[in-house]
Chain A
Amino acid sequence: MANEILYAGVADLRTAEALSAEYLLLLAARESLPAHPALLYAGDAQGRGSVVLKVPHVGLAGYDILSAVADGSAVTNTALSDGSTTITIGRHSKSYEASDLVRLSDQGLLSPQAFAADAVQATASTVVSLVANVTDGFSATVGTSGSDLSVANFLAAIQTLEVANVPGPYMAILHPQQMGDLRAALAAVTGGAVQWLPATAEQINLLGNGYRGRWASVDLFSTTFVPTANAGADRAGGMFGRGAVVWADSTIPGENDSSQLIIGGKVLFERDRTAKSGLTAYVTHAYLGVSEGIDAAGVSIITDA
């Protein structure tokens, strides 16, 4: 027999590779900022005359109790306790730039809409990463280097916050390794007698997709942005109440420019065309800042990585 039509013989009729209609997202931390009362949003810096926001701390609402004074004696003045947390808003940006050849051969994966959606998620993840970077800096710590996060560690963190008069609800940001250790400890130590309330779809919508559930009245979030500690041997998550972590952002004023899109008032997404080179860039900007607030309102949880 001869003249069989074999694949190798019809190179002109076939392409080397055909793009599947499906695609895979590369793995990444894609959590969004939890809308949790423990995180203090210090406000929007737009039009405030500075990119540094100061959050006053004041010792009122019962901070100092009354002194007993003898009848007829004058009461002495009480010193008002105060302090502040300052947050510097900074620019966070990224740009994807594609040539015309790339764009004209694209089947929708690298569309402006895809870049715009990326801008939103990337900004949310940036906030989470900034917040996770301050949770290892509390002066109070629980956990043992090289040992898995235990139920006892977790309860000790709660106790530390309660002793420091930190109002609830508390929020814990843990590395997924720590979260897994806690789940395993709960199963082993409590035998399931203590209920873990896993995140429901509604809660995830409300609290962000890093939300993992609630245990011992603490809302649990996990992200791989939680940093390492002890020369990489451990991870340093944290548990805190309101005031321990403070963040701020800024609305970006629009310019009525058709190449600009301000998403949610906070994410500036714009198209930058370099005509001479046949290049189109999709640029994202967000203005964000995070600081540690009241040190005693948080506990670092440092356990095996």
Chain B
Amino acid sequence: MAKSIYQEAATPPPRRPLLVGDGEALAARPQLEPRAPRLLRVHPKRWTVLAGRVVPQAAHVHLRHSVHLIRQRQDGRYLAREAIADWTERGWTVIPEDVDGPDTSYVREAIPGTWLLRWEQEHPGSDHVSSDLEGYADWLRGLMDSGKIPRPPVYVLESMSAKMSQAIGDLRDAVRAQPSRQPELDRAEADLAAVEAELQTLRPTPTKRSAPPKKSNIIADGGE
């Protein structure tokens, strides 16, 4: 009898996974390089616009043994009193780790040996770190509003405004030749608007004209 090409449907064998081994049992870890814990410090001359808000261009205090007078104790904690005193003398304000309240911190150990700021997010299996720039800018604005860090000096904002205006002029010229740079121009204009708005709130309102200072008498009337 000829063999039928039509066979009765058999019970399908149980599905076997394509891959063998226990690789899937291993949890993917973020592939981050070690990063020392950091504190943030702000300086009256360093300001920027982040996510549309004027905020300090905070620098990092890298808590590393023998960097800028910082020493690490045997228990792993850091001695930074001399470093903070030195920075304070140079005009910096170091933002305490627990500025948001006792037992809080804006730094965290994401994986052993790698410290990130609260607004930085690691990803499993990747070396990428996302940043919540809006959250970070909001936090800095909150510290300014609560008086924990100083507001920008007017002279700094005026200088920023002048430089940004000039850069915008250059960008307008560039956009004529390279229309793809339009978003860059839009962003620069928005940043300038933020600086101007901040200036409006900080500039003293004109009051009654004060009396001119007294004559200094530095010019002699007669001869030698």
Residues of A near any B CB (own CB < 8 A): 70-71, 86-92, 130, 133-134, 136-137, 139-141, 144-147, 152, 224, 227-233, 236, 288-292, 295, 300, 302
Contact = CB atoms under 8 A, between A and B. Distances in A.
A208 B138 CA distance: 42
Interface string B69-90: 1111000000000100010001
B66 A92 contact: yes
Contacts of A302: 48, 57
B77 to A, nearest CB: 15
Interface stretch (B13-21, B126-134, B204-212): B126-134
Interface of B: 33, 36, 38, 41, 43, 45-46, 48-50, 57-60, 62, 64-72, 82, 86, 90-92, 116-117, 119-120, 129-133, 135-136, 167, 170, 184, 187-188, 191, 224
Contact of A230 (B50, B86, B90): B50
Given A88-B71, A232-B130, A152 B136 contact: no
A70 to B, nearest CB: 7
A231 B67 contact: no
A233 B121 CA distance: 11
Contacts of B43: 139
Given A141-B46, A145-B48, A231 B62 contact: no
A144 B183 CA distance: 14
Given A133-B64, A136-B59, A231 B69 contact: no
22 contacts: A89-B66, A90-B65, A90-B66, A133-B64, A133-B67, A136-B59, A136-B60, A141-B46, A144-B188, A144-B191, A145-B50, A145-B133, A152-B167, A152-B170, A227-B60, A228-B129, A230-B50, A231-B131, A233-B50, A288-B66, A289-B66, A290-B68
A230 B67 contact: no
Given A139-B45, A292-B68, A232 B129 contact: yes
Contacts of B64: 130, 133
